[in-house]
Structure 1
């Protein structure tokens, strides 16, 4: 499965807003909601609500992408995001606010880097793991016309 690389970047922008809100208001419901989004998107990026918003509201107004990216790195990045939000929720529910703040802040930083600079840390981690096990893959492929 190949994805328009602008969709995960859009999703990262929405995630940045959600996680910033969670940090500002101590929003456990926001973290739970973001965890659900991460879980759905990790299962299938086409089913993620932020991807749906991108395909419905943004993509029709843009030219077709010139390159596509494989879904596997995006799925891995969503799993990493889910892990960080899960740690944040553990911190919230066990009375360890520093853990919650640190994990939320780390997830926020990663989402911000992706949204702002197109630097997906989880995707890079996935591609690095693939290289380490001797099964490298390309990050992007040209889109067919």
Structure 2
């Protein structure tokens, strides 16, 4: 089992809380460079792995050492998928801001904010819930 096969579930919730604040600031201010930064954060988590994601690093270095250890673990694959979905919405938001289409920018950013808020406030990872549904309907290679 790889080091990233499972994670402390408090880490993704911490990351979702930071993401919620970042995306709320973007929606209120319209400052798209901050959304571009968040897009990079999502990309690192989705494509580089959760250990590379900046908010995960903050959690591991600053928060986790101050908490009691937990035996509870969460599969990393759905979390990476959720980061990929966040990346997609954030990227569309950045493109909307840069091209001067505020309706696209605001809508995409609001969807990303909603998903992050659900995770931060209610421990409900929307992307994590979609992940197994997509796995069920995606054809798998039978040769393996």
TM-score for the superposition, normalised by structure 1: 0.89
Following superposition, which runs of at least 4 residues in structure 1 exceed 4 angstroms of deviation? none
State the Cα distance separating 1:72 from its structure 2 match.
0.6
What secondary structure does 2:74 align onto? strand
Matches within 5 A, 1:32-111: 32-42=36-46, 43-111=48-116
Deviations 1:55-100 (A, max 9, x none): 1111111111231011110110000000000111111111110110
The answer as to 2:33 corresponding to 1:29 is yes
Deviations 1:93-143 (A, max 9, x none): 1111011001100100100000000100011111221233488xxxxxxxx
Consecutive unaligned residues of structure 1, counting only runs of 5 or more, are 136-145
Distance 1:88 1:36 in 2: 13
Number of residue pairs matched?
135
Equivalent in 94, 116, 120 of residue 121 of structure 2:
116
Consecutive unaligned residues of structure 2, counting only runs of 5 or more, are none
TM-score for the superposition, normalised by structure 2: 0.89
Distance 1:114 1:10 in 2: 9
